[in-house]
Amino acid sequence: MNQPYIRFFRASLLVAAGLVVPLDSAMAVDATIWTELARSTELSATFTQVQHRAVLKRPLTSTGTVHFSRPQELAWVVETPSKSSFTLKNSIATMSFPDLGMTEVVDLASVPDASRLATSLLVWMQADAALVDRDFAVTYRSDGARLTPKDPQLAKLIASIDLTVAPSPWRVTAVSLNEPGGDHVDITFGNLALK
């Protein structure tokens, strides 16, 4: 699978991390989180993303904003260290690198493998507990959850996704995307606004 699709999958995974979970703070993190996450229809947040990769001498930190609107609209905009963006509206994915003068538009409906993987990732972003269970083995912890892909194709890209939550109101505050080769991306969210 080529690099633009891998960037798409990683960007898609990031969006759900900004959703607030308005649960009773005494409640443990469990499958109820998906029902609570599904109550939000739009979100905006800032993010700090730190990539830990074997090919890098030191971690690469980027910052920007994320906007998500149900059912399938996503904008992931990187402001630093260089500008780039990824947008998704229904099945149309657009990747833009303004500093390089490059933009690529892909209709995911025309790429069956990419579409299937995107659907799997968007399912958990949509917070549908049954479909999350279909695509991921979920292990709940007191401070969040780990999602491990069941699909072998997705598992080639992402070994696991760790969500960290905070109470009062419950919200996802961080996501770690762990890749099979040991590389990982850690994302923290701030300035969250929901509708």
CATH of the domain at 108: 2.50.20.10
Q: Domain for residue 69, yes or no?
A: yes
pTM of the model: 0.79
Q: Give the pLDDT of residue 60.
A: 96
Q: Domain for residue 192, yes or no?
A: no
Paired with 165 in beta bridges are 172
- Which amino acid, residue 142? S
**Residues 7-32 pLDDT 10s:** 444 544 444 333 433 334 334 566 67
Q: Domain for residue 100, yes or no?
A: yes
- Which amino acid, residue 46? T
Q: Domain for residue 55, yes or no?
A: yes
Q: Domain for residue 16, yes or no?
A: yes
* Dist CA 179 CA 64 (whole Å): 22
- Is residue 63 within 8 Å of 84, Cβ to Cβ? no
Q: Domain for residue 20, yes or no?
A: yes
Q: Domain for residue 194, yes or no?
A: no
**Residues 169-192 pLDDT 10s:** 566 788 898 999 999 999 999 998
**Residues 100-156 pLDDT 10s:** 999 999 998 888 777 766 666 666 566 677 777 888 999 988 888 899 999 898 898
Q: What is the domain count for the chain?
A: 1
Q: Which domain holds residue 95?
A: 3-187
Q: Domain for residue 110, yes or no?
A: yes
